[in-house]
Amino acid sequence: MSVVPMFGLGTFRLKGQAVIDSVSTSLELGYRAIDTAQRYGNEAEIGQAIAASAVQRDALFLTTKISFDNHSADKLVPSLEQSLAKLRTDYVDLTLIHWPALKNNVSLAEYMTALADAKEKGLTRQIGVSNFTIALIKDAIDVVGNGEIATNQIELNPYLQNRKLVDFLQASGIHITSYMTLAYGKLLGDPVVQTIAARHNATAAQVALAWALRLGYSVIPSSTKRENLASNLEAQALKLTARDMKEIAALERNLRLINPDHLAPEWD
C-alpha cells in the first residue's frame, strides 16, 4: 500500500534562487514533502537547498517525474540516476511518468516496464503516474501489476473536479494527488470560495486546499512568499462543513488549464 504525504511543496515554474528560497523556507516552516520534475529544470537547486538545511534525508519525501524525452528503456533509468545526482540523494521516494505522451513513439508498456525496473534497482521507493486517464491507468496496471501505482497526479480543483476519473482511481485503490488546486489563482477571487473563507476566518487558498484534503487528495501548492507558504500549511487544520463542500461541488466548470497538445491524452 502506498504512502504519499497529504501535504507537500510544489515547485513547478520555480527556477534558480526562487526555488532555493522556496524550498529553504518551506523546510524551516515544517514542510517535509517536495515535488519536482525533470522538466522543471530545478532539481539541482532543490538538492542544494536540502543539503543546506538541517533536515535529514530520511525525514523527507521527494517526488520527481520522468520527462517525455526520457521514456525509452535506454534513457529512463539513466535519466533518473541524473536526477538523483542533482537532488544529492541515493533515491527518491516517488517517481512518476510526467505525461503519457502517446505521440512520442515510445509505448506505455516500454516506459512503465522501465519505471518498474527503476524501483527494482532501488532508485525510487514507489512509482506512479501523472495526467493519466482511466484507460491509461488500466494499461499501466496491466504492465506493473495491481498495487504498484502509488498515485495519479492530476489537475484537480473546484473548477475541474474530474469526478469520473476520481471515482475510478478511488475504486482502484490508487491515491490521488491534486495539482493546480488553486487553478492558477483563479479560485482566489471566486465569490463562493471567498464567502466560505469568511465564514471560517480563513483565506480562499486555505479553503481550496482544505476542500481537496477533505476529499482525500494530496496537495502540493507552491509559493515564493513565506507568508503564503505558512498560510497554506494551516489549511490542514481547516475543517469544512457539509454545506461548504456542497457549495464548492457546484463550482465545477471543466476548466482545464494544462493541456499540452503533444503530451496530453484524450481526457475522460
For the annotated catalytic residues, the residue numbers are 40
Q: Is 98 one of the annotated binding-site residues?
A: yes
C-alpha cell at 129: 503516474
Reduce the DSSP state of residue 151 to 3 states and report it.
Answer: strand
- How many other CB atoms are found less than 10 A from the CB of residue 89? 18
C-alpha cell at 114: 522501465
Q: Dmax over Cα atoms in the chain, in whole Å?
A: 54
List, in order, residues 6 or more apart from 164 with CB less than 8 Å away: 134, 268
Contact 218, 151 (CB under 8 A): yes
Contact 251, 158 (CB under 8 A): yes
Q: Residues within the annotated binding site for substrate?
A: 98
Q: Residues within the annotated binding site?
A: 98
